[in-house]
Structure 1
């Protein structure tokens, strides 16, 4: 499956939150993300990602292992995504290190997630604050087959427009890149 996604910088987070609250219940969670790579950095160079994410929220803690392939849509950066829940973060980190992967970067994201349906698509909108980066971001995503990416992105743009987010607000900036730049 492809994660069709657009990300934007949000200039009025409270207004966007109020609009989203009218359509879905928020799930407030903290993500602790660790990205892994080969020692030579070849995953990052290829535009691929290997991540362990531990999510802490009101309903408890869960950990997922995610691999994202290279972008299939250059404008949005939408990528194939394969994700599975794992039993423990510690074991998953140990397995990846044992296989020769090295932690590339780790950071926290404070998220307010909204699940809803638009135009027959299950969507996830996430308001994101990364303590090390200035500003608030909004990600809107849906999982689709590769032949449906263009139509899905049009539907996501309609959601963003309804939330007061325009084309000039869109960004391809990655959290990993922004956090790394902040730490230099």
Structure 2
């Protein structure tokens, strides 16, 4: 499946939060993300990602192992995504390191997640704050087959427009890149 996704900088977080609160119930969570690569950086060079994410929320804690392949849509950065739940986060880190992967960067994301349906698609809208990066971001995503990416992105653009987010607000900046730049 392809994670069709657009990300934007939010200039009026309170207004967007109010609108999303009217659309769906919020799930407030904190993500602890650790990104891995091979020692030669070949995953990053190939536009691939390998991540262990531990999610802390009101309903407990869960860990997800994620692999994202290279983008299939360059404008949005939408990528094939494969995820699985992991019972033991420490074991997941140990396995990846034992296989020769090295942690490249780790950081926290504070998220307010909203799940809803648009045009028959399950959407996830996430308001994101990363303590090391100034501002608030909004990610809107849905999982689709590759032949549905463009139509899904159109649906996502419509959701963003309803929230007052325009094309000029969109960004391809990654959290990993922004955090790394901040730490330099």
TM-score of the pair, normalised by structure 2: 1.00
Cα distance in structure 1, aligned partners of 2:88 and 2:175 = 24
Post-superposition shift, 1:57? 0.3
SS of residue paired to 2:97:
helix
Q: Is 1:164 the counterpart of 2:151 in the alignment? A: no
Q: Is 1:41 the counterpart of 2:36 in the alignment? A: no
Provide, for residues 53-100 of structure 1, a one-character-per-residue CA deviation record: whole Å limited to 9, x for no partner.
000000000000000000000000000000000001100000000000
SS of residue paired to 2:132:
coil
Counterpart in 2 of 1:23?
23
Post-superposition shift, 1:3? 0.0
Cα distance in structure 1, aligned partners of 2:88 and 2:174 = 26
Cα distance in structure 2, aligned partners of 1:9 and 1:23 = 20
Cα distance in structure 2, aligned partners of 1:139 and 1:46 = 23
Cα distance in structure 2, aligned partners of 1:72 and 1:14 = 33
SS of residue paired to 1:155:
helix
Provide, for residues 130-169 of structure 1, a one-character-per-residue CA deviation record: whole Å limited to 9, x for no partner.
0000000000000000000000000000000000000000
Provide, for residues 104-144 of structure 1, a one-character-per-residue CA deviation record: whole Å limited to 9, x for no partner.
10000000000000111000000000000000000000000
Counterpart in 1 of 2:125?
125
Give structure 2 stretches of 5+ with no counterpart. Answer: none
Misfit runs of 4+, over 4 Å: none
SS of residue paired to 1:16:
helix
Cα distance in structure 1, aligned partners of 2:59 and 2:23 = 21
Counterpart in 1 of 2:72?
72
Counterpart in 2 of 1:6?
6
Counterpart in 1 of 2:61?
61
Post-superposition shift, 1:35? 0.1
Counterpart in 2 of 1:134?
134
